[in-house]
Amino acid sequence: MTITITAFERSPDGGKGLARDTRVRWALEEAGQPYEVRLVSFAAMKEPAHRALHPFGQIPTYEEGDLVLFETGSIVFHIAERHAGLLPADANARARAITWLFAALNTVEPPILDLSTARIQEHDQPWYAARLPLVQDRVRARLSPLASRLGDADWLDGTFSAGDLMMVSVLLRLRSSGILNDYPNLADYVARGEARPAYQRAFDAQLAVNTGQPPTG
């Protein structure tokens, strides 16, 4: 059955892979599933036709036959459940991988988004300089224990899983802040994720949309 996702017609990041269709593309690539992409403009996202797929008028969405999903956590989990490659077979290891997927979205991503919002939207506010260190501290309060838990392991719980896919996707948003440089094992972890052929294919595909160049791979 054809899988169709939606993505920005033009991502505001110009193809750095930070828009959330990249994590869905990555999951589909890891699972070896072909997919189609419908590009939507900011205006079209707020139209009833798109809101029927995504009540909040955002990307990405996921369509597969009668099934329509939104929220990248739910989409990646769905892909991981239906196809091999993103969740271990052992029931307890699987539950732990799902725990990391939730941890990435519920515990690690919120302060990272807050930092991103501060840097992009609040930098000209008179209180920005006073607030920024507080926001950065809240990011560090998540990165320090995450770095301790990862230690010198390649992945968070044995083999690469949907939990790592989501955690790396979330951490990538920090790159421009420079904070990851203070956590070398997390920086290496992100680099390991980015080096995966499935990530490269996903990245190249979204880049092609944003530069008008066909993917090379």
- Examine residue 11 and tell whether it contacts ligand GTB (CB under 6 A): yes
114 counts as binding ligand GTB under rule CB under 6 A:
no
What are the distances in angstroms from CA 65 to CA 4, 8, 86, 91? 9, 22, 22, 28
Using CB under 6 A, which of 9, 13, 188, 194 touches ligand GTB?
13
Tell me the residue length of the chain: 217
For ligand GTB (CB under 6 A), the number of binding residues is 12
- Count the Cβ atoms, other than its own, within 10 Å of residue 204: 18
**Which residues are paired to 6 by β-bridges?**
38
Residues 28-57, one symbol each (x = binds ligand GTB by CB under 6 A, - = not), give -----------------x-----------x
Residue 162 near ligand GTB by CB under 6 A: no
- Least distance CB 179 / ligand GTB (angstroms): 16
Give a three-class secondary structure readout of 2-54: CEEEEEECCCCCCCCCCCCHHHHHHHHHHCCCCCEEEEECHHHHCCHHHHCCC
Residue with tokens 């490269």: 200
**Which residues within the stretch 65-94 sit at the binding site for ligand GTB (CB under 6 A)?**
71-72
Beta carbon nearer to ligand GTB, 104 or 147: 104
Q: Is-contact 111 135, C-beta < 8 A?
A: yes
* 122 belongs to the binding site for ligand GTB (CB under 6 A): no
User: Which phi and psi angles does 178 have, rounded to 5°?
Assistant: 85, -10
Q: Give yes or no for residue 19 binding ligand GTB (CB under 6 A).
A: yes
Cβ contact 87:97 at 8 Å? yes
Least CB distance to ligand GTB at residue 92 (A): 26
59 part of the interface to ligand GTB, by CB under 6 A: yes
How many H helices and E strands in the chain? Answer: 10, 4
* 115 counts as binding ligand GTB under rule CB under 6 A: no
Q: Which residue is nearest to ligand GTB (CB)?
A: 58
- Which range touches ligand GTB (CB under 6 A), out of 9-17, 86-94, 122-130, 162-170? 9-17
Q: Residue 5 — left, alpha, or beta (φ > 0 → left; ψ -120 to 50 → alpha)?
A: beta
Q: Which residues bind ligand GTB (CB under 6 A)?
A: 11-13, 18-20, 45, 57-59, 71-72
